[in-house]
Amino acid sequence: CDGIFDCLDYSDECNHDCDNQVKIFKDRSIFILACSLGFWATFLNISVMIKGFANYSSLKTAAAKINEAFVLVVSTGDLLQGVYLLLVAVSDEFMNKSTCKTQFEWVTSYMCTALGIISTVGSLVSLYSMTILSLFRAQGVRSMHIPQENLNKRHKISLLGSIIGIYSLACLVAFSPTFSYLNSYFVELLKYDSNP
């Protein structure tokens, strides 16, 4: 159980004494925490999104509509994180006994890749939209003395451009490990690090 796979069939590391070393969740309490956080993140963000979409048309000022739009974007990113946690927990349960022998197949599988993309997109969408929302709110504080205006064409274009930019940049970063010229770096490096 030294963490180095000396045998081709992994029998030196994948036995009864060592099998727990390669589970996704080594501790059952962390598994339960991931399930509960995933459930609540998914449920609460869906609730925020339903409420936000229902109330959006009743908002009067451009500032209120832009603020609500970015809150909805943050919610989509956080929703992806909840879905990610639930999917990782489900994957851990399906691979419960065989994770040790299939760990290298797992890290190169489509499911693992999809989970990485979901997690990265969710994190970056939340981060980027909170950053833009903070900048927008700072701008709003500076111009409090200016009368509030309705959402005009310029506001709509900049809002739509910001949202498209947020998702585009998040997807570019998230999908970059799947590009053929980077894929070997991410996957092969993981194999080498796991087996020096």
pLDDT averaged per 10 residues in sequence order, the chain, 196 residues: 61 60 72 92 95 88 86 95 92 68 70 90 95 84 62 83 95 86 62 51
- Cβ–Cβ < 8 Å for 91, 115: yes
Q: pLDDT at position 23, please?
A: 64
DSSP 77-134: HHHHHHHHHHHHHHHHHHTTTTHHHHHHHHHTSHHHHHHHHHHHHHHHHHHHHHHHHH
- pTM summary value: 0.77
Q: pLDDT at position 20, please?
A: 47
Residue of 89, 100, 94, 85 whose CA lies nearest to 20:
100
Task: For 70, list phi and psi in degrees, rounded to 5.
Answer: -70, -30
DSSP 25-84: -SSHHHHHHHHHHHHHHHHHHHHHHHHHHHHHTT--SHHHHHHHHHHHHHHHHHHHHHHH
Q: pLDDT at position 142, please?
A: 64
Q: What is the tens place of the pLDDT at every residue in 89-121?
A: 888 777 765 566 666 677 677 888 899 899 999
Q: pLDDT at position 71, please?
A: 93
Q: pLDDT at position 120, please?
A: 94
148 DSSP 8-state letter: P
Residue of 163, 87, 162, 79 whose CA lies nearest to 123:
79
Distance (Å, whole) CA 93 – CA 99: 10
Distance (Å, whole) CA 64 – CA 72: 12
Distance (Å, whole) CA 192 – CA 85: 27
Q: pLDDT at position 60, please?
A: 82
Residue type, 76: T
Task: For 128, list phi and psi in degrees, rounded to 5.
Answer: -65, -40
